[in-house]
Chain A
Amino acid sequence: MNVRIKFSKYGPAKFIGHLDVVRYFQKAFRRSGLEVAYSAGFNPHPLLYFAAPLGLGETSDAEYMDAELLSDYPLPEIVSRLNAVMAEGFFIRAAAALPQWKPNEKKESIMSLTSCADYMVSVKDMDAEQNGVRKPYSEWLAGLCREMGEFLGEAEIIAQKAAKKGTRPVDLKPMIFAWGNSPEEICASDAGLSHADRYKNGLRLFFRLASGSVDNLKPGLIMETYCKKYGLPYLESALQFHRMETYCDLSLKDMNQEQERAAIDAGERRREFVPLLRVNTLPEGCGDDDRI
Chain B
Amino acid sequence: MRKLALPDDILLRIEKPARYIGGEINSVMKDRDRIDIRFCMCFPDVYEVGMSHLGIQILYDMFNRREDTWCERVYSPWMDLDPILRERDIPLFALESQDPVRDFDFLGITLQYEMCYTNILQILDLSHIPLYAAERGENDPIVIGGGPCSYNPEPIADFFDFFYIGEGETVYGQVLDAYLENRKCGGTRADYLARVAEIEGMYVPSFYETAYREDGTIASFVPVHPAAKPVIRKQVEMSLSDTFYPEKPIVPFLRPIQDRVVLEIQRGCIRGCRFCQAGMLYRPIRARDIGFLKERAKKMIENTGQDEITLSSLSSSDYKELPELVYYLIDEFDRQKVNISLPSLRIDAFALDVMSKVQDIRKSSLTFAPEAGSQRMRNVINKGLSEENILRGASDAFRSGWNKVKLYFMLGLPTEREEDIREIAELSDRIAGVYYSLPKEERSGKVQIVTSTSFFVPKPFTPFQWAAMSTEEEFLAKQRIVSARLKELPNARSIRYNWHDADVSVMEGIFARGDRRLSRSIHDAYRAGCVYDAWTDYFKYDVWKEVFRKNGVDPGFYTSRERGVDEIFPWDFIDAGVTKEFLRREYQKGIQEVVTPNCRKACAGCGANVFHGGVCYEERKEDAE
Contacts and interface: CB of A to CB of B under 8 A. Distances in A.
Nearest to B10: A237
B305 A17 contact: no
Nearest to B23: A88
A88 B2 contact: yes
Contacts of B302: 31
Contacts of B8: 57, 124, 126, 237-238, 240
A56 B17 contact: yes
B11 A57 contact: yes
Given A16-B18, A31-B305, A237-B12, A24 B23 contact: no
A15 B18 contact: yes
Interface in B15-39: 16-18, 21-25
Given A15-B21, A17-B18, A56-B17, A31 B9 contact: no
Interface residues of B, number: 32
B499 to A, nearest CB: 31
A236 interface: yes
Contact of B305 (A26, A56, A238, A240): A26
B254 interface: yes
A237 B251 CA distance: 28
B423 to A, nearest CB: 37
A240 B251 CA distance: 28
Interface footprint category on A: 20 to 34
A85 B303 CA distance: 9
A11 B1 contact: yes
Contact of B360 (A28, A42, A85, A124): A42
A229 interface: no
B363 A42 contact: yes
A177 interface: no
Contact of B1 (A29, A85, A88, A237): A88
A89 B102 CA distance: 27
Contacts of B7: 126
Contact of A87 (B24, B255, B303): B24
- Greatest chain B CB density within 10 A among A24, A30, A42 is at A30
B336 interface: yes
B253 A237 contact: no
Contact of A31 (B13, B303, B360): B303
Given A12-B22, A15-B18, A42-B363, A56 B12 contact: yes
Interface string A219-258: 0000000000000000111101000000000000000000
Interface string A30-56: 110000001000111010000000001
B25 A87 contact: yes
A44 B9 contact: no
A23 interface: yes
Nearest to A238: B9
Given A38-B337, A57-B11, A126-B9, A27 B18 contact: no
Nearest to B9: A237
B308 to A, nearest CB: 11
Interface string B286-325: 0000000000000001111111000000000000000000
A220 to B, nearest CB: 11
- Greatest chain A CB density within 10 A among B253, B302, B360, B363 is at B253
A12 B305 contact: no
B253 A20 contact: yes
B250 to A, nearest CB: 11
B304 A27 contact: yes
B258 to A, nearest CB: 14
A13 interface: yes
A93 B455 CA distance: 56
- Greatest chain A CB density within 10 A among B16, B25, B301 is at B25
Given A30-B336, A38-B337, A89-B23, A12 B4 contact: yes
Contacts of A24: 253
- Greatest chain B CB density within 10 A among A12, A20, A27, A85 is at A12
B304 A31 contact: yes
Contacts of B1: 11-12, 88-89
Given A42-B360, A42-B363, A12 B336 contact: no
Contacts of A11: 1-2
Nearest to A43: B360
Interface of B: 1-2, 4, 7-9, 11-13, 16-18, 21-25, 251, 253-255, 301-307, 336-337, 360, 363
27 contacts: A11-B1, A12-B1, A12-B2, A12-B22, A15-B11, A15-B17, A17-B16, A26-B307, A27-B251, A27-B307, A29-B305, A31-B25, A38-B337, A42-B363, A43-B360, A56-B12, A57-B8, A57-B11, A87-B24, A87-B25, A88-B2, A126-B8, A235-B9, A237-B8, A238-B8, A238-B9, A240-B8
The 6 closest A-B pairs by CB, nearest first: A27-B305, A30-B305, A31-B305, A237-B9, A15-B17, A12-B21
Given A12-B4, A15-B11, A240-B8, 19 more contacts: A12-B1, A12-B2, A12-B22, A12-B23, A16-B21, A20-B18, A23-B255, A27-B251, A27-B305, A28-B305, A30-B307, A42-B360, A56-B17, A57-B8, A57-B11, A87-B25, A126-B7, A237-B12, A238-B9
